[in-house]
Amino acid sequence: MAASSSGRLAGICSLKDKISLGYSNVFCGSFATSACHHAQPQIKRKASPQLVGVVGLEIHAQIYASTKLFSSSQVCFSSPPNSSVSFFDAALPGTLPVLNRRCVEAAVMTGLALGCTINKRSLFDRKHYFYADLPAGYQITQQRLPIAVGGRLSYSHLVGRKRNQVVDKNVRIKQIQLEQDSGKSLHDSYRSQTLIDLNRAGVGLMELVLEPDMSCGEEAAAAVRELQLILQALGTCQGNMSEGQLRVDANVSVHRPGEPLGVRTEVKNINSARFLARAIDYELQRQMAVVEGGGTVLNETRAFDFKSGQTVPMRDKEGLQDYRFMPEPNLPPLILYERETVPAHTDPRQVVLVDQLQEQLPELPRVTRDRLVTTYGILPEHSFTLVNEDGLVDYFVGVVQQTRAEPKKVIGWVLNDLLGLLKQQCLTVSQSPVSPNALAELLDLLEAGSISSPAAKLVLQELWKGSGKSAKHIVEEQGLGLMRDRSEIQQVCRRVIDSHPDEVSALRAGNKNVLNKLIGQVRKQTKGRADPQLVRAILEEELSRPPFHGETT
C-alpha cells in the first residue's frame, strides 16, 4: 500500500509539472487527474477516478525588526529567559499597544513583492484563547481587514531524473496579516510543569495564508523555499526555519477531482522544508488509505514526528475552538498613504507610503535568476543553485568580472569545486577562504593554458588552506605549470609503457579501452600537468611503433 501510494504521489507531482498551473485551481485538479491516468497506467482503478492531494499553507514569518510589534522591547533569538519582556508583553494592567512602524513597512513590502493589493485601511482584532504563554489571554491580529490581500507566489521546482527541468507554478495568496507571536513553553514532563519564556511574546509576525493550489509535499516545499528567498531578499524576515523565524502549518486533504474538497487536517510542528514535504506526503498517503478503505478523515490537528516520519493526532484543545474575535479597542484603524494622498502637515515619521516602498523594492530572486541566465548564458538549474546559496550570486559575478574565463566555465568551478568545499566544511559563502579575486586569477591561469585543469584543482586546494599565497605563486612553487616540453612527456609515456606490459599487450590485442588506464598513469606521474590530448597522441604514437626489443618474445 505504502509503495503504491508513494508511486502515485510521485505521479501526481511529475505530471502536474507538465501543465502550467495556478491561474485556476478549480481546474487544475481535473487536469491533474486526467494526465495522471496516462502517467500511471500501472495503477488501475475500475470505478472512480484517482484521489488527488490538495495542500494549502499558513505561514508565520517573524518580522526582522529590532523591537516587537506593539512594544519597544528587543527581539532577540537567544537571550536569557524573560529578559526582553516589557510590561505590555507581560500583559500588565494599564499597558497599551504602540505599533512599530518597521513592522508595518515590512508587511507592506512583503505584500507588494507578492503582488498583493495593499489595503489602505486595515483593522486590528483580538483573538482569544487561554494558554500560559499568552499572558493577555488574547492575541492581537488582523482578522476582518488585513493589511494585504489577494497576491500570488510564483515558484519553480526542478523535476526530471537529473532535476534539470524547471517547472513554473503559482499559488494564490489569500492575505497577509500582522499579528503578535506568543511566548514559548518548555514542557518539563519529569516534574510535570511548564516553564514560560515570554521573550518571543509580542514579536511581530506576518501570517501569510496560501490557497490550496498545491498538490504534494514537494510543491509546498518549493513554494516555501521561494517565499523564504523573497523574504530574505526583502529583508523582512530572516527565514531561518530551525530558529522558528518561518513556521509552516499545512492544511491537507484528498478528494476525487470534480468532487467537493475532502475533510482537511492541519499538520503542525514542521521546522524545515524537507520535513514539510515529508509530513505532507505522509499525511496525503494516510488520508488516501483512509478514504480508499471506506473510512472518513477526521478534521483534526496533527503533529509531524520527524523521528518516525509520521503525523500523529495532537491532543485537542477541548473540541472546537471559539476565538471570540472582537475589534481591538486600543488601536484605531491603520491607514497607509501614497505621496499624493498624504494629508498636509503630517509628520513624515507617522506615515507609511506605499508607492515609496514599491520603488524601494530590491531585485527579487526570480528576476535575479532570469538575469543570470540571460547575462551569463548559464543553465537555469544553475541559476537556482546560485540564488539559493546566500552570497553566491555576488561571488559568481565577482569572479566573472575579474577573469577572462567564460561564465560557463566559471559556473562549474563555483558550483562544483568551491561550493563542494564549502559544504564539506559547513561554511557559508562569506566565510570562504578563497576570495573571488583569487579564484579569478586561478581561472585566468587555466584559461591562458599555463596549467591543466587537474593542476588547477590542486592549486584550489592549496588556496583553500589560506596561506595567503597567490595562485601564480603556488603554481611556481610546486611546479604545477603545464608541461610544454614534448620530449619530457614522451619520456614519461615511455616509462609508463615499459612498466605496464600486460596493458600494452591487451591494447595490441585490440582492447582500446586500456589506453585510458595508461593515460591515467601518465597523468598521475605528471601530477596532472600534462595536456591529456597531447598524452593520448604521444601514447598512440609510441604504441603504434614496433615493440621495443625488451618486450618481444
Partner 1 sequence: MKERQLRYRSCLIKSCSAVCACELYGFACLQFYVYMLTFLYSRGCGGAVGWSAVLLSPVGLGFESRLGCLATDWRPVLGPTKVPPDLVDKLERLALLDFRNQDGVDCLEKAIRFADQLHVVNTNGVEPMDSVLEDRALFLREDHVEEGDCAEALLRLSKNTLEGYFVAPPGNIPLPEREDRAALLKHSEF
Which parts of 274-355 are beta strand (E)? Answer: 301-305, 310-313, 326-327, 334-335
Q: What CA–CA distance (Å, rounded) separates 39 from 15?
A: 7
Q: How far is the CB of 101 from partner 1 (least distance, A)?
A: 4
What cell numbers appear for 8 in the block? Answer: 502515485
Choose between 62 and 71: whose C-beta lies nearer to partner 1: 71
What cell numbers appear for 535 in the block? Answer: 598524452
Residues 6+ apart with CB under 8 A from 67: 73, 74, 75, 100, 102
Choose between 83 and 375: whose C-beta lies nearer to partner 1: 83
Choose between 10 and 90: whose C-beta lies nearer to partner 1: 90
Q: How far is the CB of 422 from partner 1 (least distance, A)?
A: 33
Contact assessment for residue 176 and residue 110, using Cβ atoms and an 8 Å cutoff = yes
Residues 6+ apart with CB under 8 A from 437: 398, 402
Q: What CA–CA distance (Å, rounded) separates 358 from 378?
A: 30
- Residue 92 has, within 13 A of its CA and on its CB side, a CA count of 7
Q: How far is the CB of 33 from partner 1 (least distance, A)?
A: 39
Choose between 38 and 130: whose C-beta lies nearer to partner 1: 130
Choose between 102 and 536: whose C-beta lies nearer to partner 1: 102
Choose between 27 and 77: whose C-beta lies nearer to partner 1: 77
Q: How far is the CB of 227 from partner 1 (least distance, A)?
A: 23
Residue with cell 564539506: 424
Q: What CA–CA distance (Å, rounded) separates 451 from 442?
A: 9
Binding residues for partner 1, rule: CB under 8 A, are 65-67, 71-74, 80-88, 90-96, 98-104, 123, 128, 130-132, 137, 185-189, 192-198, 315, 317-318, 322, 324, 326-327, 329-335, 346, 349-352
Choose between 99 and 289: whose C-beta lies nearer to partner 1: 99
The separation between CA 493 and the C-alpha centre of its own chain, rounded to angstroms, equals 49
Q: How far is the CB of 190 from partner 1 (least distance, A)?
A: 11
Q: How far is the CB of 164 from partner 1 (least distance, A)?
A: 43
Q: How far is the CB of 250 from partner 1 (least distance, A)?
A: 24
Choose between 330 and 401: whose C-beta lies nearer to partner 1: 330
Q: How far is the CB of 90 from partner 1 (least distance, A)?
A: 5
Tell me 416's DSSP state.
Answer: I
Angle value at C-alpha 425, between 419 and 429, nearest 5 degrees = 45
Choose between 156 and 236: whose C-beta lies nearer to partner 1: 236
Which parts of 271-346 are beta strand (E)? Answer: 301-305, 310-313, 326-327, 334-335
Q: What CA–CA distance (Å, rounded) separates 237 from 352?
A: 19
454 φ, ψ (degrees, to nearest 5): -65, -35
Q: What CA–CA distance (Å, rounded) separates 503 from 214?
A: 58
User: What is residue 376's three-state secondary structure?
Assistant: helix
Q: How far is the CB of 111 from partner 1 (least distance, A)?
A: 17
Q: How far is the CB of 83 from partner 1 (least distance, A)?
A: 5
Distances (CA, A) of 537 to 416, 518, 531, 540, 542: 29, 12, 10, 5, 9
Choose between 137 and 420: whose C-beta lies nearer to partner 1: 137
